[in-house]
Amino acid sequence: MNVPNSSGIAPPTLKAPAGACDCHMHIYDGDRFSPSRPESRMLSSARAEDYRLFQRRIGTSRVVVVQPAAYGTANEVTLDAVAQLGPQARGIAVVHPTVTDAELKRMADGGIRGIRFTQFDPKTAATTLDMIEPLAKRVAPLGWHVQIHLRADQIANAADLLQRLPGTVVFDHLGRLADGVADPAFAVIRRMLDKGNTWMKLSGAYMFDAPPRYAKAAPIAQAYIAAAPERMVWGSDWPHPTENEKPDDAVLFDLLSDWAPDPATRQRILVDNPAKLYGF
């Protein structure tokens, strides 16, 4: 099956269990929602109807829509996507400290379950590090989590801040560890995992290495899974906004067979853990 922003047409070898969740993807709909940050990456053929083709190919049924950088704090594109994708969808927003309590409630009613901070690329960052702690305190009573997308060096430098955040913390893309498990950021994340309030998204393998094996990502993913299998979730990162050459999403999904060979562990990662984190 041809899926926009994805190479290959074959289904994955790994069969997705019932209720499997893709916990990290983005929707871009420039025809209906103009980007608020045109300097950021803006993709086409990445609407909700395009993503449904992805679900049919890979076999997932639940999804978490993450606000893309191109829209900054204008979360309507994400709220609309959650509404289109229905009861099996949740969303992650991007907000500033000026956000009102009424707006947070409106977003909660619309399926938002967390807020994201991405300072990985300063050119496209809609938030700053000093916003993280006050906003974490604002959203913790809602049961929302804080999603962190930083470079490994930024994680290491912000260790004190990250470790004192209230509520639940979720790291994107295996923590973007530049030096694998030897990276100082890995030790920070491991300490946070051991505290019991931190989760990891097993996503973005192509940010570490080349297909089809993505070998450098494997020991990182395996180390996290060994440390806290009950707080691991999987994400596709479709439509792969960082990649000019789009990866084969079936190959990416099949990596879970190597990262988590035990079917019971994969069931946790794909079904049970997302249900707990996002409230499915």
Catalytic residues: 237
CB distance 42 to 28 below 8 Å: yes
CA 98 – CA 142 distance, rounded (Å): 17
Compute CA 222 distance to the chain's CA centroid, rounded to the nearest angstrom.
Answer: 18
* Exposure class string for 35-65: b at 16+ Cβ within 10 A, else e: bebeebbbbeebbbebbeebbebbbbbbbbb
Q: What count of residues does the chain have?
A: 280
Single-letter amino acid code for the residue at 210:
A
The candidate with the shortest Cα–Cα distance to 270, out of 192, 201, 194, is 201
